[in-house]
Amino acid sequence: MSLELWEWRRRVADLYAGARAAGPGEARWLAWRAGREELFATHPQSPLAEGASLAWFGYDPRWRVEGIVSPASGPAWPTGEGVFQRIGTVSFPVPGGSGGGALAVWWLDAYAGGVFVPFRDLTAGATTYGGGRYLLDSAKGADLGSAGDRVVLDFNYAYHPSCAYDPRWPCPLAPAENRLDFAVVAGERLSLSP
């Protein structure tokens, strides 16, 4: 099982490395999505039942935005995966809306370390998992790039935690600081098909 999980994480990281190298666009997203679907459909570490597939909102280039990270601290966030420390807040424009959004940026002290940005929006519990989705998880290679205080936030790549599909997987859910008051109609959605 350990070797299978290692391979799973490497393949996930490879998918994101390919997306970073190719840059933005629907063609790159479709290639990433096809790789993710193949991984979930065939890998022994998949949280999906064999033969099940993932569902997606359609690609929308407006949901690829650049966020600005500002340092911020706050109380530690203990989870079953370890303790997260708040290291910042990322502010970003909301596509098609007025104003913007903001999400807490977390650093995981345990596990593999890394930046983590989960979120919950108004689709949660309806068309997406009630506990939220993940946008960045650098411990797994799930990020699309950054430079200085700027980070790529492409909600088309937002995905459900494994616990949305299989309770054997523990996963941290979006804390109160990462609840958005608008719907993010991009990325992975519920509605599994056999």
How high is the pLDDT of residue 68?
97
More confident position, 50 or 175: 175
List the alpha helices (DSSP H) in the chain: 2-22, 26-42
Percent of the chain having pLDDT more than 90?
A: 62
- Lowest mean pLDDT, pick from 42-46, 62-66, 114-118, 184-188: 42-46
The beta-strand segments (E) located in the chain are 53-56, 64-71, 77-79, 82-93, 100-108, 114-119, 133-137, 146-147, 150-154, 188-193
As a whole number of angstroms, the distance between CA 188 and CA 186 comes to: 7
What would the pLDDT profile of 157-172 be if each residue is shown by its tens digit? 999 999 999 888 888 8
What would the pLDDT profile of 6-23 be if each residue is shown by its tens digit? 888 899 999 999 999 887
